[in-house]
Structure 1
């Protein structure tokens, strides 16, 4: 007769505390899992799930494995998250986020409130703002996507969509921004739609309200808001290939610095504006800690990829020489500790009503949506100032690259 499965005693303890576990014999719970980080309020863990990692947090109302087994390792789940089946490693899901059967979600992923995907979705280094919805059969790594105002009015990625994030040269300085942080966090921007059977060759920047038609491969920025984009088939090309040419190095560097700056702005938002909303939730401080870890992970990934790119550059122009010589300083300039003291605190017209709403128990998304226009405008200007300041410091280190001059 076989002995008890690993974690059986922990499963029984969770059942005794009120967690719904229909078949405790089918679970695998690691010895390192702290059951005090698992809520007893409305949590359901279906048969076949594997739960590992000392960092794992499972908040109230979470449902795991309703469509098939879930492997959960060092993830932090906010209230009412539904992970229906798949593999989840070092990711954070905020209230009401969900993923369907066959999900493969890896480190650096942060899904905010009521965002998620259908079946067979692969994510890594992905940040989805509230309500963003992914279809099925999608690979959407190295992106930040915002847009939309509710579950009925949300940014969407159609089925069979790919964000192409790896070049033939092995370069992954390819993170794309769909929408932006300063306006996106206000939850009042028109949604972005990326039609199915399509893709984006990163890095690109896409404005709010953009509709990319089904079957299109987006290779260029769409910075203007509210455009319909249908990309034509490319002309055939057959010519000698010169690896690592980086003919558009300055725009590539701009986008990477801009992405890092956006992560800094978002981290500042979490540390100041979002903190009291987490504090109001059971296990919320632990979920916030995980979200900040994901943002730090995202910055580390982008820094690593940019440094790897610079290592392959031939310093044959003044700008490229500056970049090679000063890239360590440039990357150091793109860190949260470089944000000036004057920009570390949100304007009171924004912070005060949100703090009041959090104290009254108002949900984060509702509190942000209900902000008056002057508060939203001040908040957007504040976050944009953080991004602009970061970009200006980086540009000053490599003046011959001509960064952000067109902006």
Structure 2
């Protein structure tokens, strides 16, 4: 396979120290790849490598079933079942796994761990970061972008041993328009998921933040916490409304993103954004949706034991509202996958013909470069697109709350 790729025109300066698995489809590796440096290992029948890609400039890269778009630079690390759109970058020591999407010009510096993470265009992460189970948007360009400072953690595993903790940093309806104020998460800090963070939020460096920030354009910070020791029983869940609601809102945003990919992104399929890359993008987003449903269901399953423990401990003082919320989440959890599945199957019905027509006209005048087209939309057009996607989010949230009415 290596000889075949070299004959095709792929630059592999040190083939003796490069490994390409027999399952790799040579037709999915562009002859115009910039360079595959020594020490790189490439596997997987789904692997796609587009024009201008550079692998392993700082350290060896292991690539497995990834979709790597044009002019992407993966400088070193391990990458599996993820997508990188045009101009994305990852520094050495990266560990990027399933369900992760880097949209155009998103980037991470060295030693960053990601899984089930979606970064919208221009979003930038510093170094020494663990940022799994997040969607982050915000910013308008490489000079005005959302940022995560170095040594940051998104805490995505609870003492109750669940991972229904995905945080929405920005949102989909506004974020896709590339016109929002950036979000800044200061270094040496952390966010305890699941959280919702509004555009323009600045979380001060050193803060471990545990709350939602719903109002935009706020500086928030945490002081040193007071020490203490209190009784604690793992698995009781003394509150479920916020965790369940934030999971529902996150899932609704992912479905809105699927509508955007289905009705808008596919209009940009071209030599620069090939069909195989688009399909990888859609499939990876579906993986992210499936993951969130799985984690939400697992969280709900824990509430049967939680309810028993809670009622035993609290007796007559147990909150009837909390008990009812747990009952509904236990009883109706499996309908979430059913509802979302029905929505995915019928996603063509979620189109906005007027907005799609506006995008098509912009493509005719601006060309097929995604960033250029979205940035060319005027305020009326972006507002129209945001309203369309927000209606989708609201509709899905209502579908979920119909299953769990006590969360209203």
What does residue 154 of structure 1 align with? Answer: 145
After superposition, where does 1:169-208 map in structure 2 within 5 Å? Answer: 169-208=160-199
* Alignment correspondent of 2:258: 267
TM-score, structure 1 normalization:
0.93
Unaligned runs of 5+ in 1: 1-9
Q: Distance in 2 between matches of 1:130 and 1:77?
A: 15
What's the offset of the Cα at 1:242?
A: 1.4
What is the aligned counterpart of 2:213 among 222, 226, 250? 222
- 1:313 has 2:313 as partner: no
CA 1:108–1:362 in structure 2 vs 1: closer, same or farther (change >3 Å)? Answer: same
2:383 alignment counterpart: 377
| Matches of 2:371 and 2:129, distance apart in 1 | 26
Q: How many residues align?
A: 391
Are the counterparts in 1 of residues 124 and 145 from structure 2 also a CA contact under 8 Å? yes
Cα deviation, 1:152-191, whole Å, max 9, x if unaligned, reads 0000000000000011221100000000000000000010
Q: Does 1:14 align with 2:5?
A: yes
SS in 2 for 1:334: helix
Deviation at 1:318, TM superposition (A): 2.5
Q: TM-score, normalised by structure 2?
A: 0.92
> Is the contact made by 2:293 and 2:336 (CA closer than 8 Å) also made in structure 1?
no
The answer on whether the counterparts of 1:280 and 1:358 sit within 8 Å (CA) in structure 2 is: no
CA apart distance, 1:335 = 3.8
Partner residue in 2 for 1:7: none
Match of 1:63 among 42, 51, 54: 54
User: What is residue 211 of structure 1 aligned with on the other side?
Assistant: 202
The CA distance in 2 between the partners of 1:261 and 1:304, in whole Å, is: 15
Match of 1:285 among 242, 266, 275: 275
CA contact (8 A) 1:339 1:386 kept: no
Q: Which deviations, in whole Å up to 9, do the C-alpha atoms of 1:362-392 show, x marking residues without a partner?
A: 3101110110111111110110111111111
Query: In 2, distance between residues paired with 1:254 and 1:185?
Result: 22
- Decide whether the 8 Å contact of 1:339 with 1:390 is kept in 2: no
1:24 counterpart residue number = 15
Counterpart position of 1:351:
356
| Distance in 1, Cα, partners of 2:16 & 2:341 | 47
Map of 1:317-336 to 2, 5 A cutoff?
Answer: 317-335=323-341
Q: 1:283 to 1:330 in 2, by over 3 A?
A: closer
Q: 1:75 & 1:263 partners in 2: Cα distance?
A: 20
Check if 1:298 corresponds to 2:288. yes
Other structure's SS at 1:177 match: strand
Secondary structure at 1:276 match in 2? helix
Alignment correspondent of 1:5: none
Corresponding residue SS for 1:110: strand
Structure-1 residue corresponding to 2:316: none
Q: Which residue of 1 aligns with 2:372?
A: 366
Question: 1 CA distance for matches of 2:261 and 2:98?
Answer: 19
1:49-128 map, 5 Å? 49-128=40-119
Q: CA RMSD in A?
A: 1.6
| 2-structure distance, mates of 1:142, 1:327 | 20
Q: Deviations over 1:181-228 (max 9, x none)?
A: 000000000100001000000000000011111101110001110001
